[in-house]
Structure 1
Amino acid sequence: MNFVSNMPEQAEQLQCAKHGTYETRYTQMMGRYLMNDQCPKCVADANAAARLQEQAEQKRQSAELLRRQRLDAGVSLRNCAVKFEDYFPADKDQAANLKVVQDFTANIAEGGRGNIVMCGGVGTGKTMLACAAVNALLSKGKRCRIIKLIDLIRELKDTWRRGAETNEIKLIKHYSNIDLLVLDEVGLQFDSDTEKLFIFDVIDGRYQNMLPTILISNLDITGVKQAIGERVVDRLREDGGKVLAFRGDSQRKPFDGVSSGVVVS
């Protein structure tokens, strides 16, 4: 591009190796003329390519941000991208469980209430479905956390340490106020009275705030009551809380060097 004092009566004809003949264009600026001798179709192609590249980069950044949010929310790397569509029910009972969790998630996304207790053997998809719910809700801007109950207890005990960054009251308040809390591996904690009281305080806080909770355990519902207390389960069952039984054999596949589908947990 160059400035010229006068615009010619007839635009100069130029040749583009890709698009053929085109005319030089002139734009008046402060008494002079800016001569544009670039091929307009080449310019349009370059702008379109730049827009596509920018959109791709924005999409990549959004995906990375969502991935980081999921990891920060406690979703494992294995389940970081899992969706409900990745869960393949082995029978009609598992299909019914899938529908319940999907409906639960859609309801929570709209500000609804409810709780779920998932009981059943290892490898039947309980954690996978819970992670799919967390992933979906994080995409909707909800604050979620999935954590093993033993790790939650460890966080509690860390507040007792001299110089701890937080205290027990603040920890309970935090977990009582997030949009969805998922407590995994219920029944594997140390089972002390102090732990049961702490668990009750968290669940009761969420109960008072009318916020949804998911509990996951390899125990049956009787075992869950024994592990965390009947008062906790009673609060989870109120307001239409559901207990889902996951039966059947583990669907985890032994590693043989070949990918054989989604691994459930």
Structure 2
Amino acid sequence: MDVSSKAGSYISTTQRSAQCDSHGAYDSTAILLGTKVMHWSACPHCVRQANMASRARAAQQAVEERQRRLETRLNQAGIPLRFRTKDFASFVADTDDKEKALSVAMEFAHNFSRHRHIGTTMVFSGMPGTGKSHLATAIARHVMGSHTILYTSAMDAVRMIRDTWRRDAPQSETQILQMLAEIDLLILDEVGMQYGSEAEQISLFDIIDKRYRDVMPTMLITNQNRHGLRQFLGDRSFDRLRENSVWQSFNWTSQRGQIMHLSI
């Protein structure tokens, strides 16, 4: 079929049968300039797969770039060095309670897109050395392939806000809160280990409230029980956390203590 003509030449198309090693027979279309073949189309299935792979690579590169910009701007992002090798496979689930904690963590990680959509709050509560940070790190490592994460202590998050109060601060409090709100998964470790001053409560409430309003998932790691966390955070922040939340207790003895005991 002619689609244009100029100076005695014209552009048209023609078809022929072709064979793809992966997908079998298909109709290949050629663009003709006069009688000269300019291009034969490739297997449509291969083209579709290549386009999907290209879009996936572009999406992953975009997320990685967002993570790099985040770490550059905050300079406190990322998983603590001690926990960077932790994953789900290395978590020793040798009791029913530990198996349940592992299952809850894996469900959150593997279905993070859904939790991201509904803004789930995850709370890991238990004594030091029970594996809370281990599973939080495993979640972070799984999620950060396709989403941005910030793993930081609650005190460091408060300091980010406090640092904006200086006259020479490069960023405003509003800008920091907005950045903390835009992270796909914010993990706050050591919640409840601070002084619990009114200023800290206000700063943490601002962070939690901003993410609550923007329907963004947040993870809190704490040594406190429900009553202790409510007292530390205050009623307003705690009420935000209770809505659409998962509370996972790590109610067993410290694994660090067991390892030390075995080595003595």
- The interval holding the TM-score normalised by the smaller chain is 0.5 to 0.7
Retained in 2: the 8 A contact 1:109–1:142? no
> 2:90 aligned with 1:86, yes or no?
yes
Q: Gapped runs of 5+ residues in structure 2? A: 1-60
**1:88-237 → structure 2 map (5 Å cutoff):** 88-110=92-114, 111-113=116-118, 114-139=120-145, 141-237=146-242
Question: Per the alignment, in what secondary structure is the counterpart of residue 111 of structure 2?
Answer: helix
- 1:254 is aligned, of 254, 260, 264, to 260
- Shift in Å at residue 255 of structure 1? 9.9
**Where does residue 39 of structure 2 map in the other structure?**
none
One-letter code aligned to 1:134: A
Question: Per the alignment, in what secondary structure is the counterpart of residue 184 of structure 1?
Answer: strand
TM-score when normalising by structure 1: 0.66
Retained in 2: the 8 A contact 1:119–1:244? yes
Retained in 2: the 8 A contact 1:109–1:137? no
- Shift in Å at residue 74 of structure 1? 2.3
Question: Per the alignment, in what secondary structure is the counterpart of residue 187 of structure 2?
Answer: strand
How many residues are aligned here? 192
Question: Per the alignment, in what secondary structure is the counterpart of residue 170 of structure 1?
Answer: helix
**Where does residue 74 of structure 1 map in the other structure?**
78
- Shift in Å at residue 160 of structure 1? 1.2
Q: Partners in 1 of 2:235 and 2:94 — Cα distance?
A: 31
One-letter code aligned to 2:111: N
- Shift in Å at residue 72 of structure 1? 6.4
- Shift in Å at residue 227 of structure 1? 0.7
Question: Per the alignment, in what secondary structure is the counterpart of residue 150 of structure 2?
Answer: strand
- Shift in Å at residue 128 of structure 1? 0.8
Q: 1:167 to 1:249 in 2, by over 3 A?
A: same
Larger radius of gyration: 1
RMSD, aligned α-carbons: 2.7
- Shift in Å at residue 217 of structure 1? 0.6
Q: 1:155 to 1:256 in 2, by over 3 A?
A: farther
Q: Partners in 2 of 1:72 and 1:99 — Cα distance?
A: 29
TM-score when normalising by structure 2: 0.66
Q: Partners in 1 of 2:100 and 2:163 — Cα distance?
A: 40
**Where does residue 20 of structure 2 map in the other structure?**
none
- Shift in Å at residue 146 of structure 1? 0.9
Question: Per the alignment, in what secondary structure is the counterpart of residue 185 of structure 1?
Answer: strand
- Shift in Å at residue 256 of structure 1? 9.3
Identity %: 34
- Shift in Å at residue 208 of structure 1? 1.1
How big is each residue's C-alpha offset from its partner over 1:52-85, in whole Å with a ceiling of 9 and x where there is no partner? xxxxxxxxxx9xx89x969963201222132111
How big is each residue's C-alpha offset from its partner over 1:78-118, in whole Å with a ceiling of 9 and x where there is no partner? 22132111111242112111111111112214544311111
Q: Partners in 1 of 2:169 and 2:189 — Cα distance?
A: 25
- Shift in Å at residue 254 of structure 1? 3.1
Retained in 2: the 8 A contact 1:124–1:248? yes
